[in-house]
Amino acid sequence: MTTPTLLRRADALLRDLPEPEVPAAAAWRSRLAIVTTFGALYGATMGSYGERPLQATYSALKLPLMLAASFAISLPPFFVANTLFGLRDDFRRVVGALATTQAALTLILASLAPVTAFAYSACGLDHRRAVLLNGLMFAVASLGAQVVLRRSYRELIAARPAHRAMLRAWLAVYVFVGIQMGWVLRPFIGDPGLKTQFFREDSWTNAYVAVWNMVAGVLSGS
Amino acid sequence: MAIVEADREGDAAWAKGFRDLDRILRGELTRLPALRDGEVPVAPGRLTWVVVGLCMAYGACMGTFSLLSPQGPGLMQVVASMVKVPLLFYLTLVVTLPSLYVLNALMGSRLSFGSVFRLLSASLGVNVAVLASMGPIVAFFSACTTSYPFMVLLNVAVFATAGFLALGFLLQTLQRLSIARTLTIATDLAADDEAPGAIHPLTDQYAGRRVRAIFRVWMVLFGLVGAQMGWVLRPFIGDPSRPFAWFRPRQSNFFEAVLHALSAVFS
């Protein structure tokens, strides 16, 4: 896909323009292209902290991987649940709407990349602040992607209200898996004090247990 | 009957079984016209193969935890879980089926023993389909979690989700079975226009008190026996600090163990 086409597709996705008669396969290709290209763009920016090209390359690979893997693992139970609640006929459109939302998320992230890069270079953030900054960017992008999600789900919910409950269940499972996926694929930003690695050796732990231990540590005052 | 129409010559039994399961999930086999004979038109025999296969797939996902933990019980635990998950469901069915049938007959339901068996087989199919669909999530968490209590709780949550959806299916199908009997052919054709899903509730006015009573008794019996059966058949996940064993000594019970895991995670 050429760059002008990709940008045109991305623009159409954001502005909800009716795409000019694209066959289903092409629509999927363009969503995938958007997620990988723009996801990699933000990943690279995120990993450019401390100006280490290797970390930037790793993060560029890992961000689209994180989104795609969480999506793929969460899909089977969603498929079975949709079937059980009589929504199987809409499943293609539903997955399309969810994939469009993912694409929108990466587009918003990519649009925030210059801000992140500016903050890295201009503010001299320490590693912890850099992590917080990126967390903020992801929060903004997730909120923005909600607009696209709502838009693409509106018709589905109007036709069959059961879609609303299904969507909530999807978000719960996807976030639950996605948080752990992000945790496992650390480091995205990379502490300059540590060696650059694709995976941390100690990263195969559980995000929720780690967070709980942190909270328990704070509460017990240690 | 509905099953006969869907069959294609020369298909393997498991392929037919999968198609049956798919039609159960879509709710095609539990629409009112399909239930006119007073039973769910499934063939329990070939559904069994699919159920066992899906149970084994989930068992493998469960066993992944011990496979990847350094001092854990390893590969044997995977094999053991693949054997034990199907056993868990079928032993529970064997233990509860007689009493379920007798209670159901006492409460004045007109379901025959065969219909009860078919109905429970279909519900088991729903349960196992949901369970297996969550297998990849469990395998993923198993691969990257070192906390044993967390895995216990995650698996309990997955089994509970699958169980509740299957119970929803069971309740809806029980209600539809009791409605189907009262309908004439003319009206049930009209009812088919909506084509609801497998768990979609029909109008509530039909929700007979008897159906709900039978359902509650079944739910409690099933839940208690199933949970305790799971406890007797443990370990499924494999505590990394203990050597491999097919069974653990009979002590304590399921509910105490879940509370213990909860306190272990949050301490």
Band (pLDDT 50/70/90 cuts) for residue B112 is confident
In the predicted structure, residue A20 carries a pLDDT above the cut 80: no
Would you state the structure tokens that stand for residue B127, as one six-digit string? 């349960």
B1 pLDDT higher than 50:
no
**Per-residue model confidence (pLDDT) at position B138:** 94
Return the sign of the alpha-carbon dihedral for residues B230, B234, B235, B241. positive
pLDDT band at B2 (very low <50, low <70, confident <90, very high): very low
The CA–CA distances, whole Å, from B75 to B66, B80, B143, B147, B244 equal 8, 9, 14, 19, 10
Residue B187: is its pLDDT beyond 60?
no
In this prediction, residues A11-19 reach a mean pLDDT of 77
The count of domains in chain B is: 1
Query: Does B133 contact chain A (CB < 8 Å)?
Result: yes
Among A161-170, B38-47, B177-186, the range of highest mean pLDDT: A161-170
- What one-character DSSP code corresponds to residue A23? -
Q: Which of A58-62, B183-187, B237-241 has the highest mean pLDDT?
A: A58-62
pLDDT in tens, B212-241: 888 888 889 888 898 888 888 888 888 887
Chain-centre distance for alpha carbon A196: 23
Residue A175 has pLDDT above 60, yes or no: yes
**pLDDT of res. B250:** 73
More confident residue, B111 or A137: A137
Identify whether B5 is part of a domain: no
Mean pLDDT is highest, among A10-19, A189-198, B44-53, for B44-53
What pLDDT does A94 receive? 93
A80 touches chain B (CB under 8 A): yes
Range(s) of the domain holding residue A121: 3-219
Which of B135, B200, B266 lies closest to A212 in CB terms?
B266
pLDDT at B202 over 90: no
Closest chain B residue to the Cα of A162, Cα to Cα: B200
Helix (H, G, I), strand (E, B) or coil at B130: helix
How many domains, chain A?
A: 1
Q: What is the rounded distance in angstroms from the CA atom of residue B60 to the CA atom of residue B127?
A: 17
Q: How many residues does the structure list for chain A?
A: 222
> Would you say residue B4 has pLDDT above 50?
no
Choose among A35, A43, A38: nearest CA to A187.
A43
Is residue B136 within 8 Å of A73, Cβ to Cβ? yes
Q: How far apart are CA A83 and CA A35, in angstroms?
A: 27
Q: Which of B127, B125, B156 is nearest to B62 (CA)?
A: B156
Note whether A99 and A31 are within 8 A (CB): yes
**Residue among A84, A206, A216 whose CB faces B25 most closely:** A84
| Residue B250 belongs to a domain | yes
Q: What separation, in Å, do the N-terminal and C-terminal C-alpha atoms of chain A show?
A: 55
pLDDT at A75 over 50: yes
Residue B163 scores a pLDDT above 80:
yes
Whether residues A76 and B133 touch (CB distance < 8 A) is answered with: yes
What does the pLDDT average to over A50-63? 88
Give A210→chain B minimum CA distance, Å.
Answer: 10
For residues A17-43, average pLDDT: 83
Phi, psi of B85 (to 5 degrees): -65, -45
Q: Average pLDDT of chain B?
A: 82
pLDDT at residue B254 in the model:
81
Mutation target to probe the A interface, by most A beta carbons within 10 A, among B24, B26, B68, B133 is B133
Share of chain B above pLDDT 70, in %: 86
A73 in reach of chain B (CB within 8 A):
yes
B196: which chain A residues are within 8 Å (Cβ-Cβ)?
Answer: 86
Residue B6 lies inside a defined structural domain of this protein: no
CA distance A61 to B151: 29
A217 near B CB under 8 A: no
**Is residue B220, in this structure, part of any structural domain at all?**
yes
Residues 192-221 of B with CB under 8 A from A: 195-200
Say what angle helices B113-133 and B75-106 make with each other, to 10 degrees. 150
B160 at A interface, C-beta within 8 A: no
pLDDT of residue B87: 93
A43 vs B241, more confident? A43
So what's the pLDDT on residue B236?
A: 86
The per-residue pLDDT for B253 is: 79
Which pLDDT belongs to residue B6? 47
How far apart CA A98 and CA B235 sit, in angstroms, is 38
Task: Tell me the pLDDT tens digit for each residue of B119-128.
Answer: 999 999 999 9
Interatomic CA distance for residues B89 and B131, integer angstroms? 12
Q: Is residue B56 part of a domain?
A: yes
Residue A158 near chain B (CB below 8 Å): no
What average pLDDT does the segment B43-47 reach?
A: 87
Identify which of B133, B140, B147 has the shortest CB distance to residue A77.
B133
Domain of B75, in residue numbers: 12-265
Work out the pLDDT band at B210, boundaries 50, 70, 90: confident
pLDDT of residue B131: 95
Which residue is closest to A72 within chain B, CA to CA? B136
Average pLDDT over residues A176-183: 90
The reported pLDDT for the residue numbered A205 is 76
Assess B107–A contact: CB distance below 8 Å, yes or no.
no
pLDDT of A37 higher than 60: yes
pLDDT band for position B5 (cuts 50, 70, 90) = very low
Cβ of residue B140 closer than 8 Å to a chain A Cβ: yes
